[in-house]
Structure 1
Amino acid sequence: TLCADPTQLGRALLEAALNLEQNNEWPVAVELLIFSHSSFTLACDVENIGQILSQARCFIDKLLLDQQWILITRLTTGIQRYTEMSYVFELLKEHDQFEYLLRKGMDRLPLLRQALLDFLRPNCLENRELFRLVALHFHMHAEVAGMWQDEANGLLKPIVDLALPMLRTGPEMKKVLTSAMHNLAHAAEYFLQAGRLNHANKCALQAELVALQIHLVNRAIDGHQIYCILGLNSAQAEIISRGYGFNISWGKALMRHYIINGGTEYLERFVRRHTVTPAIVEEVVTDFEQESGLCKKQEILDRLSRLVSMLTDAEAKYRLASRLNLRHLVSELLSSSALPYLKDTAWGKKANQDL
């Protein structure tokens, strides 16, 4: 090794960096400061790490005078203490030099990816295009989709809150609804790229609903009032769907309102009007398996367990509980009077193995 004591090595590198800085040999000075920080980090030397951060600030102030953006970003990404050095993000943003953080290879820095996201979320309200640019560069499709969805909901919420049950038509209303529809379509596209199929489907369906509202607005005379369909509850939506001969996908509805959003009241209303069938629960389970990020959430699994437990078909309940690895439900079935029946079904072999 170059030096057995990382603290001693860090001090030597820091001293060399300061000497080179005085001679304006910035590229080498920056690299030595980065290596000095690495040495102090290896030694868990908090005091000297603080000194490095202070010196980095001095370096950046001087580099800023010469607009040495490449060296500024190199020093920032080399030290990788983005919380302490978030001022660099602000400097780059103020000077319209944020693209230096989007150069080739930057997307392979996971800490930078999260740091930029944390910085831009509260600071990009006036520059949402910058957020989209950064998010797409770092393949944060779900985050971009969420932003489009939030924009759409922000446009629609005042309409739903103020217009129910009637909506006053006019050019401005058409403009707002059209913007919301386009935002939802964009959200669906990006959720699809992120593999969030249920979210994509939800946004696509919302976009279709807004499109229908636009159609109704276009048919009305400006200034007249029409019924607002954007805030329909489940019972009202069901009446309309039956009237027009549409089939509702109750599995997707339960997935969205109960499994994901935790709408216990929605489930209770559904149970009062409908039977929880194996086909419905199977659709929910299939959607759950396709939705990345949900499998490890205990509250989601608890809701799935409750839904599966509502089945009266023992074979379907056993099959879906096994598929979801709901061991407590499987154990209950194997210790219940349903065991002889399970042994006679196609799942009997597996039931015998579980005993």
Structure 2
Amino acid sequence: MQAKDTPSRSTGKRFSSPRSSGSHSSTERQFLQSNEDQFPLYLHKADIPLLTQAMHSYAHAAQYYMRDQQLTAAVANSRLAELVALQIARSQSSTSDTSIRLLKLSPSGVRCVTTKYLSVSEALTVARAYDLIVDWSAAIYNQYVVNGNESYLAEYLDYSFLSPDIVLDVVKKLEYAGVTKVGQERIAVLLTHIEEADVIYRVASQLGLKSSIETCLSSSAAAYLKDTVFKKGFTYST
């Protein structure tokens, strides 16, 4: 089991607002720097007053930069305030003394929490704070295909459309890990949320999804498939 991380004791000092719009201030580095060789998965006994103080510090800094028309710095500090607020919320809602750690993460740490542990909206908040992009194919694979979290898929579909590229990447991850009946069923559900008939047919054929194949052949896309996929053959590969 991975060791839980314990934050250092608060010194009682208040956080000061950043004074320049350049690189992260010392306060920001305190929360965003991490050891690249180790990912601390949990925050143990979070200091809520200290985190609240940091959240207000970032929010005030954002207002300061906005008044000074330094929009980039204002947005960055606003996102950091949101990140700390999310950490507070998750710490307070935890039924134990531990909560998923969102602060001081390396890029690999950000990828881990945003693709395995957080909701879509939470993942967006964390990714924005670190100026990174969520790997949605990895997130959908982990959260829906592996864990069967239907609410996650529903939230993602409310946020954005499901692209063929994401579906193909999810399929590759499934085939790499090993195709299972449950995995096939969940990929079949994903296929109902894309419109590209050639992708649907190719993936369905690749995974042996008989129902999806029959749906394609009985739809208005059948003529298109005969002129493209049937003549050119499969181009999809893992």
Choose the corresponding residue for 2:175, options 274, 286, 289. 289
State the partner residue of 2:50: 224
Structure-1 separation of matches of 2:118 and 2:156: 15
Choose the corresponding residue for 1:334, options 192, 217, 231. 217
Deviation sequence 1:104-162 (CA, Å, 0-9, x none): xxxxxxxxxxxxxxxxxxxxxxxxxxxxxxxxxxxxxxxxxxxxxxx23x847xx9xxx
State the partner residue of 1:197: none
State the partner residue of 1:270: 156
Count residues with an aligned counterpart: 148
Structure-2 separation of matches of 1:224 and 1:239: 20
| 1:170 is the counterpart of 2:53 | no
Please list every run of 5 or more consecutive structure 2 residues that lacks an aligned counterpart in the other structure: 11-33, 55-83, 88-100, 103-116
Choose the corresponding residue for 1:306, options 189, 193, 202. 189
Task: Report if the CA contact (8 A) 2:4-2:42 is conserved.
Answer: no
TM-score calculated relative to the size of structure 2: 0.52
Letter in 2 for 1:170: R
Aligned-pair identity (%)? 26
Structure-1 separation of matches of 2:165 and 2:158: 18
Task: Report if the CA contact (8 A) 2:174-2:183 is conserved.
Answer: no
Letter in 1 for 2:169: E
Please list every run of 5 or more consecutive structure 1 residues that lacks an aligned counterpart in the other structure: 1-150, 160-167, 172-180, 186-206
Determine which structure has the larger helix proportion and give its number. 1
Q: Name the Cα RMSD after superposition.
A: 3.6
Letter in 2 for 1:312: E
TM-score calculated relative to the size of structure 1: 0.36
Structure-2 separation of matches of 1:245 and 1:274: 19
State the partner residue of 2:16: none
Structure-2 separation of matches of 1:272 and 1:348: 36
- More contact order relative to length (CA 8 Å, sep ≥ 6): 2
Secondary structure of residue in 2 paired with 1:224? helix
State the partner residue of 1:241: 127
List structure 1 runs of 4+ shifted beyond 2 angstroms.
Answer: 168-171, 210-214, 223-234, 242-245, 346-351
